[in-house]
Structure 1
Amino acid sequence: MTHDSIDATDSRRVAEEVLRRYGADLAAARRGRGWTNTTWLTDDLVVRVAARPGTGDLRREERLARLLPAEVGYPAIVGSGVCRGREWMLTRRIAGENLEEIWPSLDHAARTRAIEQMWERVRHVHRVDVAAATPFARSRSPFFPPSAEAATAALDLLLTVKELTAAQVKGLSRSLDRFWTALPEARKALNHGDFCAPNTLWHDGDVVALLDFEFAVVAPVAVDLNELAKIAYGPGRPEERAPLREVVGRIVASTLDAAGGPDVLVGYSIMLEMWVLANALAADDPDEADEADRADAAAMLTAFAEEDGGYYAPLLTGLR
């Protein structure tokens, strides 16, 4: 039995014990999504179990969730604890579907509405008192290097493995220099930290909840804004993204100054794509999704290396 299968077995046993304690049966539950936690859903409950022992993410998330306004839609917490060394959290199940799963079935009008409502809900996250949230947010996001030196080391690694050229590294480094210069002046807020369709719940034509706050971080709201910008302006089929640019452009125009400005937005985007690319390269047995992530991240970085805004150039025109 491999280590991964042992981990999965232990997580399942924890979920089974927790659900039994609350009068539910794992046999009647279905497995949910998740790559840092394992999740099972019954008709009324959702249990999430840490994929590995010793992590503190779910405990932090539980405490942070109690600070979130009702407008975020976070599900009611039923209980939490540690079992077999693994953290677990049990919440009420909210009626709805994962937005990423149903996204292909939505027309452009529904997708536009989803983006507007996602941003409206995350704005309530940004309004949480920073001092109250800081003890329960991550001290830093794993998606972004903590310092200029760490960012340089990450770029050098991508150069070493020949994913970037020396000229591209120089261009990206200059953009990151502008990011680090602008960052201290950018106002900080609580960010979801992994703001995306997979962490959004959709029901009867509306966004009803934002879920999974384990990567929440106190930083400029450019962290969350970048995820929104990428939906409409990242690599991909133009016919899929172009209809979303009006609503995303409007949100970015109204938010960018408070988010820290273009240099902060572009800097966070570059560093996120560096992480995505490195993560895809590290996959033991890369699948089609890994290869797609690798290609998109490489395309984003190659474009940003030109220092003209890359894929975000049409979005940032007139906003600098």
Structure 2
Amino acid sequence: MFVDEPANDPALLRTLAAAGLPATGRFLPKAGWVSRVWIGDEHVVRLSNDGRFRDAYRHEAAVVNLLASSEVPHARILAHGDGPDGPWCVSERLPGRTVHEVWPAADSHTRQAIIESLGIALRALHRVPVPADLLPPWLADALAGKPWPAFHPPVVSAALQQVEAARRLPGHDSRLLADVADWIQERLALFAADEPVLVHGDLHGSNMIVDQGRVTGLIDFAEALAQPADVELDTILRWCAKARQFPPTPDERGLDETTLTKVPGWLHGAYPELFEREHLRERLQFYDMYGELALYAHHPQSDIREAAQDRIARLLSGHSHLDGLTW
């Protein structure tokens, strides 16, 4: 076990007390995209940086509760709440480290074993009974017109809504958006017979814990929702194609994409049903279009919106990050 420093951060001490846990042991502080994190020998403590993701921990706790009697590897949430330092959550610490941490030094056999165990975990996840309307509260807020703290995961039924949101932008490309609306309308029938399942919604190297070559836990269910099972592939394949864009924190680097080229094939071998949907690539491009539209319509930075507009045009021509992936 690692050692770092005793639990002496005032915010950490207040959170442990609120959770009814002793302030003993040593904790490793880690930065995150939206949370401060302390990793102890037995517990992981998270404290929201700014509270933008309304009820994210409460939602995550509800989702994890759904997993209690399943075979999905996950960390139990011991307590969560709101305090003077903001929303907080305490969960058990799982054995191992993140895929992001272990991947560079792992040999090909170990990497394959990790991804095959991921496939088993995902199959179990997608079999968990789930309310058909499950949606993170912060995402429901965004779809209702409030600010967007994140731009994924895709929600099939809200795709045309993103076109309308983009049309309200000053200086929007009306011809492009008309083409996008037609493109979406032509593809909605692909999803008509789908049964929603429990989808993690944000699976990449930092949200999988592994130990001895197998996944010991899927973590961070703040974006989990009920959608078609292959929505899960949207982030996984984007991670494979653009891994450098998925660093664990803003100050770190993502993995080298060339080390992930076999991941889709390994996952296909372990969970073939996930890839067997008719018109899978068109479906995946639809999910991609949703994400790019959300960025184009809602991102506060103009350069990000412009880049999304360029990728939307590429999608209309049939090209995306999927072009270089095989399974």
TM range, smaller chain: 0.7 to 0.9
What is the distance in 2 between the residues matched to 1:244 and 1:92? 28
Percent of aligned positions with the same letter in both sequences?
20
CA distance in 2: counterparts of 1:213 and 1:108, whole angstroms: 28
RMSD: 4.0
Hey, what's the Cα distance between the residues in 1 that align with 2:284 and 2:121?
Answer: 20
Q: Equivalences for 1:112-191 in 2 at 5 Å?
A: 112-131=112-131, 134=133, 138=137, 140=140, 142-143=151-152, 144=154, 147-153=158-164, 160=171, 172-191=180-199
TM-score (norm 1): 0.72
**Secondary structure of 1:130 counterpart:** coil
Q: CA deviation at 1:192?
A: 0.6
Are residues 253 and 127 of structure 1, via their aligned partners in 2, closer, same or farther at CA, if it must alter by over 3 Å? closer
* Distance in structure 1 (CA, Å) of the matches to 2:35 and 2:188: 32
Residues 110-131 of structure 1 show CA distances to partners (whole Å, capped at 9, x for unaligned) of 3333222223212222111123
Larger relative contact order (C-alpha < 8 A, sep ≥ 6)? 2
Aligned to 2:288: 269
* Residues 1-320 of structure 1 mapped to structure 2, 5 A cutoff: 13-20=10-17, 21-25=20-24, 28-53=26-51, 55-68=54-67, 69-84=69-84, 86-131=86-131, 134=133, 138=137, 140=140, 142-143=151-152, 144=154, 147-153=158-164, 160=171, 172-233=180-241, 239-250=258-269, 254-257=273-276, 261-275=280-294, 282=300, 301=312, 303-307=314-318, 310-313=320-323
Distance 1:171 1:184 in 2: 21
Shift of 1:315: 6.0
Which protein is richer in helix relative to its size?
1
* Partner secondary structure for residue 114 of structure 2: helix
Q: Which amino acid aligns with 1:202?
A: V
- Code of the aligned partner of 1:152: V
Contact 2:119 2:267 in 1 (8 A): no
SS in structure 2 opposite 1:112?
A: helix
- 33 and 108 in structure 1: CA distance in 2 versus 1, 3 angstrom threshold: farther
Deviation string 1:204-226 (CA, Å, 9 cap, x unpaired) is 22211000101111111122122
Aligned residues: 292
Q: Distance in 1 between matches of 2:223 and 2:284?
A: 18
- Identify unmatched segments of 5+ residues in structure 1: 1-11
Is the alpha carbon distance of 1:158 and 1:270 closer, same or farther for their aligned partners in structure 2, counting shifts above 3 Å? farther
